[in-house]
Structure 1
C-alpha cells in the first residue's frame, strides 16, 4: 500500500521546506531565525530549498536525535559548483545556544541526545545564477539519512563594499599574546579579516588612562607600516578608523597626507572619545578635532552619545549635541536606546544634520524589551531586525562597540555590568578546541540583516523609496513592531529578488 505523501510548506531564513521524512534518522530543519531547541514544534523533514543572491550566505539548522557518545558523519555529495558549504555544531555558552564550532573531518560526536547543526551555503560574485541540487548524507550506528537541498541563485549580486558603514570594535588587549608580538599581530589580522568577511568594518579599540578617551585604529599594524595602506584599501572596507592620541602632531600630519595621497582619506574617521557626558569632555573633543581639521578640514571625527550634557546650560537636552559639536564632530553616532522606540526622534536627528554631517546609530546594553538588538536573551527576529531598523530610519551608519568584550582576557566570562552577550559576538577558538576564532549565531544573523539591507538598497535604487517602504512593511513597521514569522521574511526576500531580476 502506498503511504500518504504529506507536503509541508515553511519559508524561513532563506528556506522553503518540502517533503517527507524518512525515519532512518529523524531529522528536523529549523529556520535560521528560530531556536534550534524548538525543533519539536516542527514536523520531521529531509528536504529544503534556499534562495540566494550572489555574494550572499544562507543557512538552515539541522537537528537529529541520537544517543550520548554516538558518532555520526555528515557528508556533502556535491563538489565544485561555485557555492561554498560549511557545517558547524551549535554549542551552548552559559546555557545559550550561540557558538558555531566547525565540524572537523565531517564527524559529529553527540554530547547530548540531540545534535544541532548550522549549515551554511555561500555564493560569490562569480557564482552562476540558476538552480542547484545539493545533498547531505548523515550516517552512524547503522543508520543513514539523505537531506536534499535545492538552491536557487538569482541573477542579483550584493556589493563587495557594504552600502552602509558598519563598524565593529575589537578589544585589542584581549588579543595580546604576552610571549610574542608576532603572534599578537597574527591574532589581530585574523580577527580583522573575520569581521571583514562578515560585512563588518573592524577597528581595534582601547580606552585610555581609565577614562572614556578612546583610541581606534582599523589596521593591525602601525599607521606608517607598509602593510597598512594595502590593508585599508581592501574593498570590503566602507569606513576605517585611524589613530590620534598615540601620534605626535607631525605623525598626524604625515598620516593624513599619506591617506590623501592614496585616495583613502574620505573613508577614514577618528573615534576620539566614547560617550562624552560633560561639557569639559566636549571641550577636549573640540581641542582634538581642531588640531585634526587644521591639517585636513575634510577629515571626519566620530563621537558616540546616548544623552545630552549632564551639566551646563544644555543639561539633559539630548538633541543639543548636534549644535554643541558642530564643526568638531562630523559623524554623530547615537545609541538606538536614546530614540526610545519613537521614529519621530529619528526624524528629528536627521533634520538637525548640517552639510557633510552623518547620523549613525549603535546598540549597546539597550535598547531592550522587544526592540532590535544582539543580546543573547533576545530572539533571532530581534537580531535579524537590527539593520531593518537602520534602513527604515535612514541612518547613514551603524556601530557596535565590541565583538570580544569578556570580563577577563583568559576566560569566556561575561561582564556582570552588561546584559548577557553584550559586546561578544566572537569566541576564542581555544575554548572549543579550535585553532581559529569561533563565530556566534548572533553574528550570522547580523550578517543576514546586513544582506537584507543590501536587498533594500538595491530595491530603493530600482523602484524608489516610497514603493520600497511599502514592501518592507510586510516584515518591519517600527522598532516595536516587526515580523515574528520566518515565512513572511522569505516571502519578502523572494519578492525583492524577483523585482531585482526584472
Structure 2
C-alpha cells in the first residue's frame, strides 16, 4: 500500500511538473475569460516565400520564461527555424465600437524574457515559421521546449509542411503605409538628426517590408534642389542612401522591394515651372536607377470643398512635368475633382452600399466607379474611422451602430479575421492598391504601451510599439511589431494565394474561396475555422496545379 501511494504521489508530481501548453490558431485572439479549444501539437503549412504562425498558450501562472531555439528538421537534414515572441496586452478603456470591448487585448509582440503581463493576462507565445524561396519542400518536424519559473513544461511538437509553390517576395498588390522619423524619434527619446534615429527608422521600415508593406513619408526630407536655366539640379545622395535598399531589394535577404514611392515635395521649388522641373528630375532619377516602384504624387489629403482648387493646381503642375507620375487623391468620386486624380483612393466604406445611413458621401461600387473614370485611372482604397466610427464606443443610435460594424478593420479590439480581411477583399473586388495614413501615429500623442486610442478606434494609425532600453525586456531601441501587422501580412499572403490560383487557371475557384471569407467590405467571415478550411482547400488546389505546371514544363505536355 505504501509503495502504491508513493508511485501515485510521484506520478502526480510528474504531471504537476510538466503541465501541457495548448496550441491555438493565429486567427484567434487569446483573452482572459475567453475559452478557446487548443491542440497538443502544432501543424502548419506554408509556401516557399511565406510566413505562418501559431499561438502557444501556457498554463496559468507561467512566469520567468525561457525558450530554447526551435529549428525543425526536414528533407536531407535541412532546417526551418522559428521566431518566438511573447504576446503583451493592452488594457482597452473605450471599445472601438460594438464589435470591440474593454479589458485586456493582445497586440504587442515582445521578447520572451519580458516581464509578465498585467494580472489576469494569459501567457501566450507567438511562434512563427518563415520559409525562404530557397527552402526545400517537404515535411519538417521539431519540438518547442519552454521553461516557466525554472520548471520544464511539456514539449510542444511542431510539424510544418513546406509546399512546392512560391509566393513572390514583393507584394503583388501595390500599397503605401505612412511612417515618420519624427514620430519614431519622439517616442524613443532620440534626436531625429542622430545616426541612431536614422538607423532605427531603417529597422521600422524594414519591419514593414518584411510584412509585405511599403512605406511612405520616412524621413520626409526632400532632396536639395537648385535651378539653372529652368532645369532642376537635384542632389539625390541623401535620398538614395535612405531609399535605395528598399527600392532595389537589398534591405532584406528575400529581395523584397517597395511597390510604390511618394514624391517628396520641395519648398525650394516656388513657382509652378520650378515645381514641374523638380518633378521631372525626380521621375528621371527613378528611371535612370531602374527602380520598379510606382512613383506617385500625394495631393492634398482628404480635400474639403475649399481645397479643390489646390488639388487641381497640384495635378496641373505634376502633369506639366510630362512624366508618368500619377497624382493620388484621397476622395470619393467627386465631379469637382474630375480629371485631377490618376489614382483615386476613397475610403473602404465608399465601395459597398448597405441598408441604413451611409458613412461615405458618395457610395459607388468599384465596377461602377471604374465606368465613371478615365480608363487610365487606378482605384485604391483605405481604412478610416468611417468604418468603425469616429467617436469611440457603440453609437446609441442602433441603425448608425449597425453601419459602423462588420467592416474589415485594423483595430486592436476587433476579431483577427477583420484585421486580415483586406487581402482577400482586394482580390475579390479587383481594387488596384491600398493606402494607410500612418503606422506610428500614437507615438506623437501618448504612451502607446498604455493606449493607442485615436480617431474613435484602438490602434487607428498605429501598428508598432516603441521598444526602448528604459523598458524592461529591451536592451536597445527597436520596433515592436503588433499582432495586427502580422494579420495584415497574412491577408496579403492570402491575396498571393488567390492570385497564383488565378494565374494557374483556377479563377472561378479563387473567387469562390475569396467570397467565402469576405463577401463584401462589411461582410467578413469571423469564424477562424472557416478561414483555416478555405486556406487548406486553396493549398491543396495550388499544390495540384503547381505540380502539374512543373511537370508540363519538364515534359512539354500541356496540363489539363
So what's the TM-score if we normalise by structure 1?
A: 0.82
Is 2:79 aligned against 1:75? no
Q: Counterpart in 2 of 1:212? A: none
Structure 2 counterpart SS, 1:348? helix
User: What displacement does 1:168 show?
Assistant: 0.6
Q: Counterpart in 2 of 1:290? A: 316
Is 2:69 aligned against 1:90? no
CA distance in 2, matches of 1:245, 1:415: 33
Q: Counterpart in 2 of 1:204? A: 217
1:411-426 correspondence to structure 2 within 5 Å: 411-412=447-448, 413-414=451-452, 416-426=454-464
CA distance in 1, matches of 2:243, 2:87: 37
The one-character-per-residue Cα deviations of 1:384-414 (angstroms, maximum 9, x if unpaired) are 1122221111100001111100163663243
CA distance in 2, matches of 1:403, 1:355: 32
User: What displacement does 1:109 show?
Assistant: 5.4
Q: Counterpart in 2 of 1:350? A: 370
Q: Counterpart in 1 of 2:519? A: 477
The one-character-per-residue Cα deviations of 1:358-396 (angstroms, maximum 9, x if unpaired) are 000000213121111101221111111122221111100
1:2-151 correspondence to structure 2 within 5 Å: 24-37=18-31, 41-43=35-37, 45-67=39-61, 70-78=63-71, 81-94=78-91, 95-104=104-113, 112=119, 114-140=122-148, 141-151=150-160
Structure 2 counterpart SS, 1:383? helix
CA distance in 1, matches of 2:500, 2:135: 19
Structure 2 counterpart SS, 1:84? strand
The answer (yes or no) to whether the contact 2:352–2:520 under 8 Å persists in 1 is no
User: What displacement does 1:262 show?
Assistant: 2.2
Segments of 5+ residues of structure 1 without an aligned counterpart are 1-21, 207-214, 308-317
Q: Counterpart in 2 of 1:335? A: 347
Q: Counterpart in 1 of 2:548? A: none
Segments of 5+ residues of structure 2 without an aligned counterpart are 1-14, 92-103, 224-234, 250-255, 355-362, 389-404, 545-560
Structure 2 counterpart SS, 1:463? coil
Q: Counterpart in 2 of 1:243? A: 264
The answer (yes or no) to whether the contact 2:70–2:82 under 8 Å persists in 1 is no
CA distance in 2, matches of 1:49, 1:143: 22
User: What displacement does 1:272 show?
Assistant: 2.5
Q: Counterpart in 2 of 1:210? A: none
Instruction: State the structure with more CA Rg.
Output: 2
The partner residue of 2:301 within 269, 274, 289 is 274
Structure 1's 270 and 53: CA in aligned 2 closer, same or farther, altered over 3 A?
A: same
CA distance in 2, matches of 1:170, 1:432: 25
CA distance in 2, matches of 1:416, 1:424: 9
User: What displacement does 1:491 show?
Assistant: 2.0
The answer (yes or no) to whether the contact 2:261–2:293 under 8 Å persists in 1 is no
Aligned length: 453
Q: Counterpart in 2 of 1:261? A: 288
Q: Counterpart in 2 of 1:184? A: 197
The answer (yes or no) to whether the contact 1:319–1:349 under 8 Å persists in 2 is no
Structure 1's 183 and 258: CA in aligned 2 closer, same or farther, altered over 3 A?
A: same
Structure 1's 117 and 271: CA in aligned 2 closer, same or farther, altered over 3 A?
A: same
Structure 1's 125 and 292: CA in aligned 2 closer, same or farther, altered over 3 A?
A: same
Structure 2 counterpart SS, 1:148? strand
CA distance in 2, matches of 1:90, 1:422: 20
CA distance in 2, matches of 1:185, 1:293: 33
CA distance in 2, matches of 1:389, 1:243: 30
Q: Counterpart in 1 of 2:401? A: none
The answer (yes or no) to whether the contact 1:244–1:272 under 8 Å persists in 2 is no
CA distance in 2, matches of 1:79, 1:339: 44
User: What displacement does 1:77 show?
Assistant: 4.8
Structure 1 counterpart SS, 2:212? coil
User: What displacement does 1:448 show?
Assistant: 0.5
Q: Counterpart in 2 of 1:386? A: 422
Structure 1's 344 and 290: CA in aligned 2 closer, same or farther, altered over 3 A?
A: closer
Structure 1 counterpart SS, 2:519? strand
RMSD (Å) for aligned C-alpha atoms: 2.9
User: What displacement does 1:289 show?
Assistant: 2.2
Structure 1's 482 and 179: CA in aligned 2 closer, same or farther, altered over 3 A?
A: closer
* Higher mean displacement: 147-156 or 40-49: 40-49
User: What displacement does 1:228 show?
Assistant: 4.8
The one-character-per-residue Cα deviations of 1:188-247 (angstroms, maximum 9, x if unpaired) are 2221111111100001169xxxxxxxx7989xxx84424256332224211111212445
* Higher mean displacement: 78-87 or 131-140: 78-87
CA distance in 1, matches of 2:33, 2:67: 19
Q: Counterpart in 2 of 1:19? A: none
